[in-house]
Amino acid sequence: MEQKKSIGKRRLGVVITFLSLFGVVSIFEYGRIEHLLERNIILQITGIISLIVFIVSLTFTFVKTGLWKFTHKSLNKLDEREISLTSKSLRYAYSIFTVVVLLLLVSYSILEKPLNIVLVVSLILFAHLLPASVIAWTEKRTENE
């Protein structure tokens, strides 16, 4: 993992990434429910800006730092410390993911709203980003700092 950013910058990157992902989904959901997405240019521009911010922050926070690659590495290629770190991050991440998804599913069920592909894809991304986010948020120093 080649992570040379300070913990503050990593945390800011994680927050921006998740807020922009939430923004994309929220704008799409609001536009879909209110039937505004295809008619409202401001809503479309805001959605595109949110998507661009998400892609840029994802690239700088997860791809360029190596966090994405590290959390998707085979266990055979990790040493003992890395296996322990990955295990801890997966445990926290999937605990968070389970609660979030259950709350979403219950909410959609109560509101009798159908799930859409944007929400499902964002949840898949969320699941893949959470373990790396836990590492970015909690690790004070890495071997290259």
Tell me which H or E stretch contains 126. helix 117-138
Q: What is the mean pLDDT of residues 15-21?
A: 96
Q: What single-letter DSSP state applies at residue 76? A: G
Statement: residue 23 has pLDDT above 90: yes
Report the alpha-carbon distance of residue 97 to residue 12 in Å, rounded.
20
CA-to-CA dists, residue 12 to 16, 62, 73, 107, angstroms: 6, 12, 24, 29
Phi, psi at 45, each rounded to 5°: -65, -45
Report the alpha-carbon distance of residue 98 to residue 2 in Å, rounded.
29
pLDDT in the model for residue 139: 80
Cβ 129 vs Cβ 62: under 8 Å? yes
Mean of pLDDT over the chain: 87
